[in-house]
Amino acid sequence: MKLKIVHTDKAPAAVGPYSQGVSAGNLLFVSGQMPFNTETGEMVRGNVEDETRQCLENVKAILEEAGTSLENVVKATVFIRDMDQFDRINKVYGEYFNDHKPARACVEVSRLPKDVNVEIEMIAVV
């Protein structure tokens, strides 16, 4: 099986030995996206809703670059720093996934890169 690396300037560049996304057959694996805004060059800070929205916009840009969309996501993993923020994160997540509801895990972690509050990765069908 041939792997295809997916890259877009509309999402944060990989800062280590990984890719924004990798397509394998008809599946796309999107690396965890943090709330970095490529237009401003700044990490989104302030509230977890804005951070979540930016993470989802970054994932969306990678999906679109690969020729797919949020409607084709089959699995999402949401990493959060504080489970007490679950409802706030979930509300924003629901704006992106209302009729289509992929499988999902939400995991509290002790720390995320750059001390962000949320990071989101996905698997989609291309």
Alpha carbon distance 88, 53 (integer Å): 11
CA nearest 33: which of 3, 2, 4, 65? 65
Give yes or no for a contact between 55 and 118, defined as CB atoms under 8 angstroms apart: yes
Residues recognised as catalytic: 106
Q: Is 88 helix (H, G, I), strand (E, B) or coil?
A: helix
CA nearest 32: which of 49, 12, 46, 48? 12
CB count, 10 Å around CB of 17? 5
